[in-house]
Amino acid sequence: MRRAVITGVGLVTPLGLGTTANWAALCAGHSGVGSLTQFDTSRLPVRIGGEVRDFIASDHISDRRVFKTCHRSAHYALAAVGLALAEARLDLARIDRTRLGIATGCGEVGPCVTEFLPMLHATLADDGRFDFRLLANRGQRHLDPYLVVKALPTNGLAHMSIAYQAKGPTFSSASASTAGAQAVGEAMRIIQEGEAEVMIAVGYDSLLLPSVLLHHHKLGLLAGGPGDSEGAVRPLDRARSGYALAEGAGAVVLESAEHVECRGICGLVEVAGYGLGFDPVFPGIEGPCGNGAGEGRGTARAIRCALTDAALKPDEIDMIKVEGEATRAGDRAEWRAVTAALGAAAAVTPVCALKGAWGHQGAAAGVTELIAAALSLRAGLILPTCNFRDPDTDVGATVVRGAARPARLKSALVVSRGFGGQSAAIVLRAVADGALSSEVGT
Amino acid sequence: MSGQSMRRSVAITGVGMVTPLGLTAPESWATLCEGRSGVGAITLFDASGFRTRIAAEVRGFDSSARLAGCRHVGEVPRAVGFCLAAAREAVADAGLDIGADPESVGVSIGSAAHLPTPEELLAYAARCNGHGYDFTTHGLHGLRSEWYYQRLFQTASAFVAINVGALGPNYVSAAACASGAQAIGLGMRAIRRGEATAMVCGGCDSVITPLMLSGLCILKSLSRRNHDPAGASRPFDRGRDGIVLGEGAGVMVLEEWEHARRRGARIYAQLAGYGTSANAYRVTDVPRYGDGGVLCMQRALVDAGVLPERVDLISAHGTSTPQNDRAETAAIKTVFGPHARRLLVTANKSMLGDTVGASGAVELIATAFAVRDGIVPPTINYESPDPECDLDYVANRARRVPLKVAVKNAFGFGGINTSLVVMRARSGTRAAWDARREPAGATERPCAAL
């Protein structure tokens, strides 16, 4: 079985662009969550979120068609991929492009409802009815000509493949927070199975739309009434009350270990294990699986599978990056899953959650948070969980407060759970100089 | 791992369909073989003002009967309703007891795109004061969560998993028109790797909506043959002028071969190969010679361990657009060489319309039936040959011919392609061709950087 190694990462988050800015802010325990400025929130029930600031798309994207035909989140994705490839120092001219593939996890790409207002004005009949004939004759002219194009998750993937002439295998998922993690996991499998030498895995999302905000608020998932800001999102804390929606993108470059060796580098971290599962809870309904529902049985399965895949025992995991969505029920169910899968090791293994720092980046989170764990392994530092103060009896995790804590880290477990029940776990393993062998010992 | 050389094989043991041609899989398959079109005037809303006023609608779907006892939230979105019904049919058809080991069974469902409904837009418009929303007066009253779920890609996959009780791997495939095919390919891989014993896989979509129709009319991608609905979808015919929208769902149960055999399941066919690729060409066009299609068909054949000369049938993507059908024909010729003249090519979209995210799954199920029964459904409306499309498209009348290996193509928007390989299950022969070959991607590959 071939091994897959991450050689470059790219981040576009509310804490900044690129690895350096994000890593410094994460280590210092900073939060990128704040008052929303992209639209008027004065008459909305929620006013905070994690916005990507100071992002100039044209600094990162040369193909001008992208600006017209792609959703904003795809701009972030293309920027993150560019950053990751630059960091990997891959000379694309020397790569067989049919062996270069792309895996994406895509989130919200729908238009903001306000974009439809001009169309609506032209489409409403005198009695206020939505008139389909008026839509065809008048309203249609006010629609974005790329309405359908933008709403397709393959649009971003297509632009990436064009930008880098990547004709290798593809994977395109839209399983919310888990989407990005699945993109990394499937990219790893594609390399393991020999279908590609290099894979780009990217997660991207922009949940900062009034309609998304309102729906999540209505479901009771969001933190922060009017007046609250940076400190509102408190994963794993006793006083947690929900997450803040955010946006961004994360991208990683994965290469086969042989390819990494050929290039004479050692890479950042190895993707060593991958597992999936499903928790049958959907807002409003519970599954027929009885106590499997709220207990995170699917997440526990995902973790067990990832550990088996990486051939690691629970006590060999040195840190856990949890989803930590910061809702009361979510963190509780996730912690039960972690405990069910890891047993006694769960309580003593340091845990970190990143929703306080970046907000909920949706499909991007699966990759951005995995990158944070990878950088932790590399630096030997466990990141603090932003806004964590008081432990909860429901969540008996070992959480780092304040600033990053040095530790000897060889492997990390990364857990992702999505809105809808999909969950994924990935095991990352540190690579030491010279220690990398292209084949697992038989 | 010692299991490497004896790769697990994957059997198709249950199928379910809700399509414009029938409300169950057997009914849809029978209509496909008759060569009847499911296209007609749009009835779901008043489309009389649009450039395109025709589509292949699902007719007579009784959701209260088909979804009786299902767990869901509020009103089920149309596509998700089709999907739940098809999934139930497939699981019942397979006779699989998922409750015996829920963690060993996964779900993988794809769909293409979702736009808000007019109802939701109106609700927001009523709360808009020109600059932004005002939720201080009306509050959130009347803001229905179903509107949001309707737009989420993961709803179908989650609802299916909840209702069949599967806690294993759960994929939400979003690869435009290749969504259903990608979902099935992912399911096959999960079984092969030992991550699941069975996967409930497929696709669903219902994009015959006012906004989607508007958006597609603007892009000029739809057929305008409004005067002749049944003749509008004419893949590979010289007179083809665009896509005819369809809707529906196709779901199948994939199962590890030995598991299926041990419990005495009926096996429709073997799913043997999966390949993907990107055109890396243009977002709204395809390369003239179908390069990306060549790569994904080749990858699927390598994955299945099948030589191109062994292929008897190709179930084409065949969208009835001038560009796709020309490029796909060129791609088939490149992959199969002289054998391209001998194999059969059929386009189910001539009858089903383009069921978008469901198409890959629905048409793969039809391919499994074809291989099992030795019947190739026709490409209807094939009247005047296009000099650039000169293969045997099984024009207008189904053909009875023994089939061993078939390839299903599904090419998604932006040039994101998927191909799958289906093989006839021969009684008593385990894993037919699989055992002969090393897993895909030999390890001797040279380092690309050198």
CA angle A294, B85, B93 (to 5 degrees): 100
Per mean pLDDT, which range of A223-232, A364-373, B1-10, B73-82 is the poorest?
B1-10
Phi, psi of A97 (to 5 degrees): -70, -15
Residues A161 and A136 in one domain: no
Confidence at residue B126, expressed as pLDDT on a 0 to 100 scale: 82
**CB < 8 Å from B in window 159-178 of A:** 159, 161-162, 164-176
- In chain A, the N- to C-terminal Cα span, in Å, equals 9
Give me the residues of chain A with pLDDT under 70, please.
225-229, 286-294, 433-442
Tell whether A287 is covered by a domain. yes
Tokens (6 digits) for B218:
């603007």
- Report helix, strand and coil shares of chain B as percent, to nearest 5: 35, 20, 40
**A393 min Cα distance to partner chain B (Å):** 27
- Tokens 């808000």 locate to B116
Other C-beta atoms lying within 10 Å of the C-beta of residue B65: 8
Nearest to B447 among A111, A140, A259 (CB): A259
Domain-terminating residue out of A95, A130, A147: A147
Tell whether A435 is covered by a domain. no
- In angstroms, how far apart are the furthest CA atoms of chain A? 75
H or E, element range at B70: none
Q: What is the pLDDT of residues A179-226, one digit of tens each?
A: 999 999 999 999 999 999 999 999 999 999 988 999 999 899 999 765
Q: What is the pLDDT of residues A303-328, one digit of tens each?
A: 999 999 999 999 999 999 999 999 99
CB-based contact A365:A178 (threshold 8 Å): no
- In angstroms, how far apart are the furthest CA atoms of chain B? 71
Q: By CA distance, what is A134's nearest residue in B?
A: B49
Confidence at residue A294, expressed as pLDDT on a 0 to 100 scale: 56
- Tokens 């969950």 locate to A423
Q: What is the pLDDT of residues B133-159, one digit of tens each?
A: 777 766 777 788 888 999 999 999 999
* DSSP, residue by residue, A183-194: HHHHHHHHHHTT
Q: What is the pLDDT of residues B287-325, one digit of tens each?
A: 988 999 999 999 999 999 999 999 999 999 999 999 999
**Number of Cα atoms under 13 Å in the Cβ half of residue A36:** 26
Nearest partner of A180 among A284, A84, A67, judged by Cα: A84
Is the model more confident about B220 or about B431? B220
Residues A207 and A341 in one domain: yes
Residues A14 and A123 in one domain: no
Q: Where are the alpha helices (DSSP H) in A380-416?
A: none
Tell whether A220 is covered by a domain. yes
Domain-terminating residue out of A147, A172, A206: A147
Residue B288 contacts A where some CB pair is shorter than 8 Å: no
**A29 min Cα distance to partner chain B (Å):** 33
Tell whether A399 is covered by a domain. yes
- DSSP character at residue A323: -
Residues A133 and A277 in one domain: no
Nearest to A276 among B170, B279, B416 (CB): B170
Positive or negative: CA dihedral A58, A63, A69, A74: negative
Residues A9 and A140 in one domain: no
Nearest partner of A32 among A326, A341, A324, A355, judged by Cα: A355
**A42 min Cα distance to partner chain B (Å):** 8
Tell whether A178 is covered by a domain. yes
Residues A212 and A282 in one domain: yes
Nearest to B128 among A41, A117, A287 (CB): A117
Q: Which residues of B393-430 are buried (b: 16+ CB within 10 A; e: fewer)?
A: bbbeebbeeebbbbbbbbbbbbbbbbbbbbbbbeeeee
Residues A33 and A120 in one domain: no
CB-based contact A6:A442 (threshold 8 Å): no
Residues A270 and A242 in one domain: yes
Residues A138 and A262 in one domain: no
Average pLDDT for chain A: 92
Q: Quick check: B432 pLDDT over 70?
A: no
Residues A193 and A128 in one domain: no
Phi, psi of A344 (to 5 degrees): -60, -25
This complex has an ipTM of: 0.95
Tell whether A440 is covered by a domain. no
Distance of CA B242 to the CA centre of its chain: 19
Nearest partner of A228 among A362, A45, A355, A365, judged by Cα: A45
Number of structural domains chain A divides into: 2
Residues A275 and A135 in one domain: no
- Tokens 């809808």 locate to A420
Other C-beta atoms lying within 10 Å of the C-beta of residue A225: 13
Domain of A46 in residue numbering reads as 4-109+152-430
Q: What is the pLDDT of residues B193-213, one digit of tens each?
A: 999 999 999 999 999 999 999
Domain-terminating residue out of A132, A147, A162: A147
Alpha-carbon distances, residue B197 vs A426, B102, B103, B109 (angstroms): 21, 10, 9, 17
Tell whether A442 is covered by a domain. no
**B233 min Cα distance to partner chain A (Å):** 21
Q: Is A178 exposed, middle or buried (0-12, 13-18, 19+ CB in 10 A)?
A: buried
Tell whether A102 is covered by a domain. yes
% of chain A with per-residue pLDDT over 70:
94
The full set of domains in chain B, from first to last, is: 2-132+140-428 (3.40.47.10)
Nearest partner of B81 among B23, B133, B36, judged by Cα: B23
Confidence at residue B427, expressed as pLDDT on a 0 to 100 scale: 53
Q: Which residues of B218-255 are buried (b: 16+ CB within 10 A; e: fewer)?
A: bbebbbebbeebbbbbbbbbeebbbbbbbbbbbbbbbb
CB-based contact B314:B174 (threshold 8 Å): no
Best of A173, A188, A191 to disrupt the B interface by mutation (most B CBs within 10 Å)?
A173
Is A162–B212 a contact, with Cβ atoms under 8 angstroms apart?
Answer: no
Residues A122 and A200 in one domain: no
What's the CATH code of the domain at A222? 3.40.47.10
